[in-house]
Structures are given as C-alpha cells and as structure tokens.
Structure 1
C-alpha cells in the first residue's frame, strides 16, 4: 500500500493513553497497555487486534475504517510496542510475566470498560489477531457485533512446522529436498539465512533451538552477537514471507534490533507454550460465536497462514449450522497491507450493516477472570 492507495487519509489520533491491566506479581512493573483512538468519538466502536504475538499497531491500521462512521481503537498488547514493561527495553522476565492468551483476552474487556463502550463493538483482527478476536468472542460473545478476520491462523504444530521447521533438519544434506511442505519453498535465500543461524545438530526442532538462544544470558560479546543475530533472523523471516513480493532489501522495523528483540521473544514464548490454549480450542468452541456475523479475508498465496486454515474455520461454522457472512480469497499473500487485502477489508467495513449503538443496552463485563481454560 502507498499513501495514494488508501481510501481514507491518515488522521492524528484523537485520544491516547496507558491502561494498567495487571499488577504483574511478583515483579514491581505492572502491565500497562498503550492505546490510541481515531475517528468519530460517537461512532460505532471497532477494536483492532494486531498480529504476532508481539507485533504492534501503527497509525496506518486506522485507515481501514471510515473515520466519520467508526470510533477506532488501536492498542499494543502486553510486552510490545509502547506498552510497558516492554520485552526489548525492560527485559523478557518483566515483559513475558503474565503474558498469556487468557490475560490478553481480558485486557480487551478491560480496555472496553475503560473507554466506556456501552454497546457491542466490531472486533477486527488478522493472523494472531484473528486467534485473539475469536478467543475474545468465545468468552464475551454478548459484546461482539461483528468479527472481521484476516489471515486465519489455527497455530497447531502442523501450522508452526509449515512456517518454521520445513526441511531444516535435513537442510545440510540437500537444501533442494522439497518433500516436506513449508514456506521455505517460496523463499529459499531467506530460508537459508534463517536455518543456518542454528547449528546443524540442533535443527530437529527449530523453534526450540531458537528459544535456547533467546533464553541465553550472554556472558561474552560473541554470545551477545549470536543472540542478536538470532532475534533479527527470526523477525526478518516472518516479515519476508508475509508479502507475496517481498522487499528483501528493506524489511523495515523487522530488521531493527529493538523491534526484533521484542517480537521474536514474545512469539517464541507463545509458540513453545502451545499458544497457552487447549488444542483446537477455537474450533471446539465455535458454536459460541455462530450467531455473530463473521467476515473472513484470506490471501490465496499466504505462506504465513496457508489458506487451508481459513477453510477449517469455515467448515467448523458449517458444522454448527451457520455460514460466514462473507469469505473472500484474495490473490494476495498474508499481510493486511498488501493492496488487495487492504481494499477488501476496507470494503467490508464500508458495507457492514449500520449499528444503532446509541440504543443498545450496556454490556459491561468484568474482564477479571484470567483463569479460564484456553
């Protein structure tokens, strides 16, 4: 997307702040999530959930929505962006403490209450944000008007292996052995860089091998450089494969030490803990969201979240007797900022049935229960 491609011009945020969502015991630095509001303060509320885990929001994300119609809320999830403590600035111990799916779900509810949203709201999430949006809707369905989901992710071992494992274990024997499925098939130069960070004898489980480096406390400059390179390699790999035509010479913030330190460690923290969710939790609980209109946008050439993952969700909805409100397969890759994805998402938001939010009853939720099994 270029500036001219967007339907709506970039506007400054109307309001911003930090909301304390957790005391973060036994640490002394409580979690405070950073948020921004754009658009019409009296408009239909839409909650934007960024990807990752460990990504951040940027002002561009507000441009999917008509600022005259919508009250647009962006926020950085725990440990990343402008939220504090930040994994990169304050350390993994602080940033990853109490950083699990159940906490993030309840953070949405707490932010909703803090902003005094009395009606239902549209919930818009892509990639990891699509998981978080569904998990929130499963727990708090009475607060959700519409789900708009892009780049559906199931985050099973199969899905993680496709993206992060591929042919890594046998790469040294034959990098062009393509009998194992994976994103690597489409990005061979970048895959080489990602794989060769890890010693040959530790490539059986790439996510685990990267975690060992991320968890290392460097004692020498050489160890510090090894860790830095690993963090950046992980971050760059995801950014490159998010675009059908990657800009390999400029991966932006994904190549910066600060962003990569936060992004890579938060993602790895979730991946090595099964996303802090019961296996197939979203699919098993899809009946709880069957009455919510669900719009799905998925790039046909997505190599972060291959399209079969969206089909799994559609099949699950049909199995409980409902259809998605729309399911659009674009000729694009993963990123929400690829032109066709962005245009379709904007069009969906422009054409949602208008919500008479001023007359809806209050639906305050506590947002305090972080003990639910996910």
Structure 2
C-alpha cells in the first residue's frame, strides 16, 4: 500500500483578494519547477490542511492548495455573499493566472470533484488531467439521498441526532429547514444546526468508525462553514443547470482522468462515479472495495497517491515506478 508523503511546509503563501468581501488563502509547496497540481477541497466549506499536500511527490509536483470562499484561512469566515460555483471557477482562474501557471492537474474529492468538473468544462485548455475522488454531481437526487431520505435508513441512530434541531412539522424539507436556522439571527440555533449537519457528514464519511474524522467535522468553526456554505449551495441546486456536469462531459472528453470511489460510499453513492465514467470514455474508474467516502481511508489514500504518481509520470514522460 502507498502511504501519504511526509509532511512538508509551503515555500510560498499568498492572500489573494477577489470580489469583496473575500480574500483567498493560497499556498505552494513541493518543487517550484514541477508539474502544477491544484488540490480542490470538499464541502463546499471544508478548507485544506497539512494533509492536502501529501498525496503528491514533492520532487515531481508544484503543489497548490487554497481555501475556497468563506472557509479555512480565507476570509470572511462562513460568508455566503458572492459565493457560488461560478465565483469559485473564476477564483481558480485567478489563482492560475496569479501564479503564472499555463496548465495544471486538477485533484478534487467530493465537492472538489464537482468544482473540478465545472472548472474543466469552462477552461478545458488549462487542464492536463483530472484525478477525482468520491464523485458528487450535485443532482437533486444526491441531495435528497443524503439530507432527506436514503442514507437515513442505514444510520437511523445518527439520523436522529441530525434531525434534532428541526421541529417535526418542518422535516418535509430538511435542507430548507436547516437553511432557515443557518442563516437566521439566532447564533445559538445557528451553531446547534451547524454541528448537527456537519457531524452527520463526519459520522457517515468512513466505512469504519473514525473518531478523528467526526471530531474534525464537528469542530465549531469548521462545522459552521461546512453547514452554512453547503446548505447555501444545495438549496440553490449548486448553481448548476439540471444534469449540467454530465451533459457537458463532451467538452472534456479528450482529457485523461482517474476516478477513485469507495464501494461503500454513503455520502456520495457509487452510481455517481459510474454515471461519470460512462459519460467519459477517457477515464479510468477505480472502485475501492473496502472504503467509504473519506480520502483518509487507507484504500482511497493508496489509490490517490498511485494516481498522482501515474499522472505525473505520464505527463513528464518518466518511466513507470516499477521499471
């Protein structure tokens, strides 16, 4: 099994102002002359951390990580103003131009796979290849499955804690009910809703229970940005037209891609990855038999490191690792 590369520190940090009031945190690590790759985190609203850099060989890659609007070290925290999918696509272009990168590899998981596809379909000429994990196409049935009915049948005990902030008479549309609280003036109710929303995701993200993942999702500041920004996106259909990402796959049909997806992913079920793979003949689908959704699960981490190595060696015309 491949493990993550050792921790490394960024060699450059940037604060990049975009539309007011947002300022993005961006950092670079690895080799300044390496193959550019951008790590596109999930949520929306989760942010990056030190592990985000560790899927890539620092001798081969120029590694770019950034926190999307409203989360992580970007400011202001949990802001919904000027925060849509297309603002984030524009931010990626702004970052690419600011760093003087011509083309890069996109590496995105969960919501990061959504944003990677949206960006690639908007700017295919700027993309070498895509490495995607835990495919999320942001279709209404996917939101309904996880936040209204479906995953609830697999985790009825965790589901009760998710429902707790919402009165019985408002449970017919849970995304709407959470949105009301997450954007309302009552800060106690807002945090209660945020922790319930985000903890539900953390508890169901791994095949085997992982307290570290749950703690990460339930940490108050992270829970608030995840819940507010996710709910804002989902109540607005992620600012996408119906089936837009699958519909527009012809725009990037020529680009190579590796899709990594856990067979027992409850957050984003495997049929999402299957549908994407069917619409993208130039992709390779790797189904990880003993994993759920989280990138930190051993089988998924192994597959992602191998995929990043494979893509770098192909693009840099290096011999295979076992040659």
Instruction: Tell me which interval the TM-score lies in, with the shorter structure as reference length.
Output: over 0.9
Alignment of 1:69 onto 2:60: yes
**TM-score, length-scaled by structure 2:** 0.94
2:4, 2:301 within 8 Å by CA — same for their partners in 1? no
Q: Which residue of 2 aligns with 1:129?
A: 112
CA drift at 1:307: 0.2
Change over 3 Å in CA distance of 1:73–1:245 after alignment to 2 = same
Distance in 2 (CA, whole Å) between partners of 1:139 and 1:111 is 15
Aligned residue among 271, 292, 307 for 2:234: 271
Q: Which residue of 2 aligns with 1:342?
A: 301
What are the Cα deviations for residues 37-56 of structure 1, in whole angstroms up to 9, with x where unaligned?
11001000001100001111
CA drift at 1:247: 2.8
Distance in 2 (CA, whole Å) between partners of 1:254 and 1:116 is 34
Runs of 4+ in 1 over 3 A off after TM superposition: none
Q: Which residue of 2 aligns with 1:217?
A: 185
Q: Which residue of 1 aligns with 2:201?
A: 238
Paired residue total: 315
Q: How does 1:150-229 map to 2 (within 5 A)?
A: 150-166=133-149, 182-218=150-186, 224-229=187-192
Distance in 1 (CA, whole Å) between partners of 2:88 and 2:4 is 31
Q: Which residue of 2 aligns with 1:333?
A: 292
Larger radius of gyration: 1
Structure 1: 5+ residue stretches without partners = 25-29, 88-94, 167-181, 219-223, 358-374
CA drift at 1:186: 2.7
Distance in 2 (CA, whole Å) between partners of 1:159 and 1:44 is 34
Alignment of 1:287 onto 2:250: yes
RMSD: 1.7
Q: Which residue of 2 aligns with 1:106?
A: 90
Q: Which residue of 1 aligns with 2:321?
A: none
Q: Which residue of 2 aligns with 1:169?
A: none
CA drift at 1:351: 1.6
Q: 2:274 aligns to what SS in structure 1?
A: helix
CA drift at 1:189: 1.8
**TM-score, length-scaled by structure 1:** 0.81
Q: 1:64 aligns to what SS in structure 2?
A: coil
What are the Cα deviations for residues 328-349 of structure 1, in whole angstroms up to 9, with x where unaligned?
0002000111110000010111
Q: 1:288 aligns to what SS in structure 2?
A: helix
